[in-house]
Structure 1
Amino acid sequence: MQTKTIQPIHVLCFETRTSLKEILQYVRVEARRLYRDAVRNDLEITGPVYWIYQGADGQADTVFTLTIALPVTPPTHTINSPYQLKQLEAFECVSEDLYGNWDGLSNTYGSLFGEIMSRKLVPSGQNREIYLNMDFENPERNITEVQIGIVK
């Protein structure tokens, strides 16, 4: 686990209100649409897809804001997109990489929140998952960076 500051990132993104119980409808759907839309609008993709959870507490029924974001270079031209361009602000966080199946996400979050509590840090209410490598056929090859926001 490490503590770090993520610098602002310009993204093309999808936002919605959802719950963990309803979130599967966006998996393998919105990210693909974001990639297609970025290419169609001649945007330069500059990083992997982010899933950002604002207000999620791990409970299946809690409604929170989900942002699925694709880093892009700010365009110099007008784009025609159902998605929004925005800048993610600087983000203070503790992070840990998960290598393998996403079934391990709960353990990774547990480890990070345990460390936050032991170090008496204050969670910001925003968590991010950065999908560095996604392999749906061989999930043991997945690499996911989990970031939990902290108040500085």
Structure 2
Amino acid sequence: MQLNTSPPLHVLSFSVRTTLADLGKYGVTVPKQLYAEAALLGLLVTGPLRWRYLGADGRRDTVFTLQIGLPVERPAHPTEGILFSFEEWPAFYGLAQIHEGPWELLHETYGKGIEWLLHEGYTIGPEARESYLNVDLVVPAFHRTEVHIGIV
């Protein structure tokens, strides 16, 4: 486990108020749409897909803000009529750890990270992020996700 700061990101972004129980609605559809929009605009994708959880507390029914961001280059010209917005996500400090395997087991990785942070005397912040380093929808055991738990 490692504490680090993720640099700021320029992303093509989708945002919604949702719950952990409803995350499945966004897992494949929104990323496909973000990649299609980036291609339509001729933008270079500059990093892996990111999910940003603002106000999630681990309970399945708590409503929080989910942002799904695709890091892209800044457009050379103003864009209008696009499906998503461009945003600057700020730098982010916290515990980074790698989760390998199905996303249904992500809660175990979060649990270990939160336990370690609390044991070390850190205060958990209101934000967490995930970077999808490898996605394999046929063999979920090959998923590789960086989990980043914010601290204050």
TM-score normalised according to structure 1 size = 0.96
Aligned-residue offset at 1:21? 1.7
CA distance in 2, matches of 1:11, 1:49: 9
Correspondence 1:3-152 to 2 at 5 A: 3-80=3-80, 81-151=82-152
Question: What amino acid is aligned across from residue 117 of structure 1 in structure 2?
Answer: L
Q: Paired residues, what number?
A: 151
Question: What amino acid is aligned across from residue 38 of structure 2 in structure 1?
Answer: A
CA distance in 2, matches of 1:15, 1:132: 21
CA distance in 2, matches of 1:43, 1:123: 35
Aligned-residue offset at 1:121? 0.8
Identity %: 39
Show CA shifts across 1:43-93 (max 9, x none): 110011011100001111100000000001111112231211011101001
Question: What amino acid is aligned across from residue 31 of structure 1 in structure 2?
Answer: P
4+ residue runs of structure 1 moved beyond 3 angstroms?
A: none
Question: What amino acid is aligned across from residue 34 of structure 1 in structure 2?
Answer: L
CA distance in 1, matches of 2:105, 2:14: 25
TM-score normalised according to structure 2 size = 0.96
Show CA shifts across 1:68-120 (max 9, x none): 00001111112231211011101001011011122321110000000110111
CA distance in 1, matches of 2:42, 2:77: 9
CA distance in 1, matches of 2:26, 2:138: 18
3-state SS, counterpart of residue 22 of structure 1: helix
CA distance in 2, matches of 1:72, 1:103: 28
Across the aligned residues of Structure 1 and Structure 2, the Cα RMSD in angstroms comes to 0.9
Q: Which runs of 5+ in 2 are unaligned?
A: none
